[in-house]
Amino acid sequence: MADKKPLKLTGAERAAILMMSLGEDAAAGVMRHMGPKEVQAIGEAMALTRNVAREQVNQVLFDFADTAGTQTALGVGSEDYMRRVLVNALGEDKANNLIDRILLGRSSKGLEALKWMEPRAIAEIVRLEHPQIIAIVLSYLDSDQAAQVLALLPENLRSDVLMRIASLDGIQPAALQELDEILEKQFSGSSGNLKSSSVGGIKTAANILNFMDSAIEVTILDKVKELDPDLGQQIQDLMFVFDNLAEVDDRSIQALLREVSSETLITALKGADDSVKDKVLKNMSRRAAEMLQDDLDARGPVRLSEVEQAQKEILAIARRMAEAGDISLGGGGDEYV
């Protein structure tokens, strides 16, 4: 069994097969310990899973049992092992947030509840709060969710909040606990045991901007640069934009192209730098590359807004694949994992 060829399944698909093999009660117990993004990813994979072969189920179960049996030991805590597993499963940013919570015994029920809410509802809750409070809340959310909330805030607040996110360097335990308790009371929860947090920072600010509409993104970044040129440049250096795809390794580009529709790719490349076009064409078969080039040549003028939207769609797919560990992205001298 150990010599079997590995299954070509994503992490979410493997998790879905495992959850479906556990039975409803056990699977529900496991998923109660997951965040909303992980629940959604595994739930979608479960919904799409049909006619799984017995050998696939056996292989997933074998791999899980083998990993659990050979890399953990009853009664022996292993922070390094936990860290590796979570980084591989969730990506570095999400894993670090979760590791911080586990190692410090944190149970932030009020803040955690926000992750399950619609962005518009969160915006309504925080819009009248002090910008520093809003910055802490957005830093705690996943970047794509935080970007949606930031876009719903008054325009004159956005750059101020983003600068505060970038300037966060840890939060006093008492302050975060007080915020958590206030939010928890609003959701009729019980008191949390919050010990500390390391949310925020320039990388968080850059990640949030990455998920925003291009016009809003440019406006906010320009305002930040006007108020603090050095900070604005640091944020921009850590952002991953469409032109950065030229720096991504070939294997990752090939995997990304398999997930992007032809129409979206053509529209996105109409406004792309030549280095990105060359990178894409290089990683296609000769026939596919010729057809894509013909389509690009035949396509008439395209609205800039349509090009930007198509590029955002591709970047969203790329980030999702990077967080799942399927590809690696390089940009701004840093690496998305």
Reported residue count of the chain is 337
Domain check: are 65 and 115 in the same one? no
Q: How many structural domains compose the chain?
A: 4
User: Is position 146 within any domain?
Assistant: yes
* Same domain, yes or no: 220 and 118: yes
In a domain, 334, yes or no: no
* pLDDT range class, residue 114, cuts 50, 70, 90: confident
Q: Which residue has the higher pLDDT, 175 or 305?
A: 305
Of the residues 207, 238, 269, which one is the last residue of a structural domain? 238
Residue 336, domain member (yes or no): no
Q: Is the same domain home to 114 and 205?
A: yes
pLDDT class for 56, splitting at 50, 70, 90?
A: confident
Residue 146 belongs to domain spanning = 109-238
For residue 22, tell me if it sits in a domain: yes
317 and 227 share one domain: no
> Are residue 228 and residue 130 in the same domain, yes or no?
yes
For residues 116 and 220, state if they share a domain. yes
CATH code of residue 135: 1.10.220.30
- List alpha helices for 23-91, DSSP H: 24-31, 36-48, 54-71, 79-90
pLDDT for residue 281 is more than 90: yes
Question: CA separation (Å) from 120 to 32, 116, 128, 200?
Answer: 24, 12, 14, 21
| 3-class state of residue 117 by DSSP | coil
Give 2-22 pLDDT, tens digit per residue.
444 445 677 778 888 888 877
Last residue of a domain, one of 238, 259, 294: 238
For residue 333, the model assigns a pLDDT of 39
Three-class secondary structure of residue 336 per DSSP: strand
Residue 335 resides in a domain: no
Least confident segment among 56-60, 164-168, 260-264, 292-296: 56-60
- Residue after which a domain boundary falls, among 24, 53, 71: 71
Flag whether 63 is in a domain.
yes
Residue 337 lies in a domain: no
pTM: 0.46
What local confidence, expressed as pLDDT, does residue 320 receive?
80
User: Is residue 173 very low, low, confident or very high in pLDDT (cuts 50, 70, 90)?
Assistant: low
Banded model confidence at residue 334, pLDDT cuts 50, 70, 90: very low
